[in-house]
Amino acid sequence: MNVAVIGLGNMGTFHATKYASLPEVNFVAICDTSQTENKLAFGEITVPVYNSLNAMLSDHHIDAVSIASPTFTHYNVAKFCLEKGIHCLIEKPIATTAQEAEELIHLAKEKKLVLTVGHIERFNPAVLKVKECINKGMLGDISSVSFRRNGPFPPQIDDADVVIDLAVHDIDIANYWLGALPDTITGHKAALITGGRPDHAEILAKYGSTHVFFQVNWVTPTRVRTAVLTGSKGYIEMDFISKSIKYYESKAEFSNNRHGETIAKFQAVESQDIEVELQDSLEEQLRCFVGAIMKNNPLLVTPSQARDALELALKI
Ligand SMILES: NC(=O)c1ccc[n+]([C@@H]2O[C@H](COP(=O)([O-])OP(=O)(O)OC[C@H]3O[C@@H](n4cnc5c(N)ncnc54)[C@H](O)[C@@H]3O)[C@@H](O)[C@H]2O)c1
């Protein structure tokens, strides 16, 4: 299976390096509109670099691409590739509007092609482990989830605000963990540094009786990527970067007070470290994409889920 990477910036370079190391694919070419090199080496593999998609496709048969060009190009580039019969992994977010996303989903279905989106955090082993903890009932009924995805300003991003760029990750994870879409979502976003494009936002969503808070910004001088989940049976603190999870099991005795209300007397509890088997999230994401093409394996991130995350982010 021949693969290529479109857009060789920060993210595209990671995709290219990873494809070069995957034995199940032939990594054959790169397309980047501003590259001046004719060839580039990734580990043991050297591939030709093209400035135009047409030129790349006239020289190579390409089965699948990773699209890691800027967000505003995703729709046009993916549409072009899907129309040529090429399977696509689009970096997140899927597109800039839900309608564009819908068109891509429709086109991929019509052409019987695999379309997925680089919501890489879904392959973070800590995210998968928290899902397992939820499914096992370790949290009981979840009252709240609170995400923080903060960090320094990314100068290369000039076509998306912080909600579209960062909050889509956590909105998608909340949908995945809670197995639903929110009934309501609202928030505030504003620009502290850019003077125009929002660079910080506070978002609140309601999934049935679970309240979810998302804080994203490009203002905090250090990278923070955390989630905390509180439920009737326990509490989880997880860190996306260190991939660590601390679990506190709730131990309480219930009785009634003089108004007939239920009250709880909590015992002091120690935290437990939940073991997380480390895996390379990007490698797993690319393997999932390739497995869906070659073996018809299910996708972990469907394009409809990516469209949902984008549509919700666009409401803020
Ligand atoms: N999944 C993640 O965690 C994650 C992290 C960072 C970025 N991203 C996404 O990846 C995409 C790229 O972000 P980045 O930070 O790598 O940007 P970047 O600016 O570093 O790289 C983009 C590259 O695309 C090239 N390019 C522009 N238009 C093109 C076109 N039409 N065809 C081919 N190449 C083109 C540019 O020359 C540049 O080299 C964005 O959509 C961003 O949201 C995802």
Name the β-bridge partners of 211: 144, 206
- Cβ(288) to ligand 1 under 6 A? no
Could you tell me if the CB of 310 is within 6 A of ligand 1? no
The CA 130 to ligand 1 mean position distance, Å, reads 29
Has residue 284 been placed in a domain? no
134 in any annotated domain? yes
Q: Is the CB of 92 under 6 A from ligand 1?
A: yes
Q: For residue 104, is it within any domain?
A: yes
Establish whether residue 256 lines the binding site of ligand 1, counting it when its CB lies within 6 angstroms of any ligand atom: no
Is 38 within the bounds of a domain? yes
Q: Count how many domains the chain has.
A: 2
Sign of CA dihedral 163, 6, 114, 282: negative
In b/e form, how buried is each residue of 132-143, taking b as 16+ CB within 10 angstroms? Answer: ebbeeebbeebe
Is residue 151 domain-shared with residue 260, that is, in the same domain?
A: yes
Q: Are residues 40 and 170 in the same domain?
A: no
Q: How far, in Å, from the CA of 206 to the mean position of ligand 1?
A: 32
Same domain, 65 and 101: yes
Ligand 1 atom with the smallest distance to the CA of 31 is 33
CB neighbours of residue 296 within 10 Å: 8
Domain-located, residue 11: yes
**Domain extent for 113:** 2-119
> Which of ligand 1's atoms lies nearest the C-alpha of 160?
43
Q: 109 with 140, same domain?
A: no
pLDDT at 195: 85
Is the Cβ atom of 70 under 6 angstroms away from ligand 1?
yes
Q: Does one domain contain both 100 and 138? A: no
Write down the pTM of the prediction.
0.96
Q: What is the mean pLDDT of each run of 10 residues along the chain (316 residues)?
A: 97 98 97 95 95 97 98 98 98 98 98 98 98 98 98 92 97 98 98 93 98 98 98 98 98 95 95 97 98 98 98 98
Q: Do residues 106 and 166 both lie within one domain?
A: no
Last residue of a domain, one of 119, 144, 166: 119
Residue 258 lies in a domain: yes
One domain for residues 109 and 175: no
Q: What pLDDT score does 275 carry?
A: 98
Task: Give the residue, by CA position, lying nearest to ligand 1 atom 38.
Answer: 9
CATH number at residue 6: 3.40.50.720
Decide whether any atom of ligand 1 lies within 6 Å of the 156 Cβ: yes
- Asked whether residue 115 falls in the same domain as residue 142, the answer is no
Q: Could you tell me if 202 and 159 lie in one domain?
A: yes
- Does the beta carbon of 285 lie inside 6 Å of ligand 1? no
Phi/psi class of residue 179: alpha, beta or left (left: φ > 0; alpha: ψ in -120 to 50)? left
Residue 304 token pair:
């409809």
In a domain? residue 298: no
Q: Which atom of ligand 1 is nearest to the CA of 6?
A: 33
Q: Say yes or no: CB of residue 12 within 6 Å of ligand 1.
A: yes
CB of 189 closer than 6 A to ligand 1? no
- Output the 3-class SS for 159-174: CCCHHHHHHHHHHHHH
Give the Cβ contact number of residue 295 at 10 Å.
8
Based on the fold, state whether residues 112 and 228 are members of the same structural domain: no
pLDDT at position 192 is 96
At residue 48, the pLDDT reads 98
- 68 touches ligand 1 (CB under 6 Å): yes
User: Does ligand 1 lie within 6 Å of residue 151's CB atom?
Assistant: no
Q: Is the CB of 120 under 6 A from ligand 1?
A: yes
Q: Atom of ligand 1 at shortest distance to CA of 13? A: 16
Q: What CATH number has the domain bearing residue 167?
A: 3.30.360.10
Q: Is residue 111 part of a domain?
A: yes
Best residue for ligand 1 mutational test, from 13, 18, 32 (most atoms within 8 Å of Cβ): 32
Give which of 245, 184, 171 is closest to 214, Cα–Cα. Answer: 171
User: What local confidence, expressed as pLDDT, does residue 214 receive?
Assistant: 98
Q: Which of 203, 95, 101, 218 is nearest to 151 (CA)?
A: 218
Q: What is the pLDDT of residue 64?
A: 98
Domain check: are 224 and 142 in the same one? yes
Largest CA-CA distance found in the chain, in angstroms, rounded:
81
Among 119, 149, 168, where does a domain finish?
119
Do 177 and 234 sit in the same domain of this protein? yes
Query: Which ligand 1 atom lies nearest to the CA of residue 121?
Result: 3
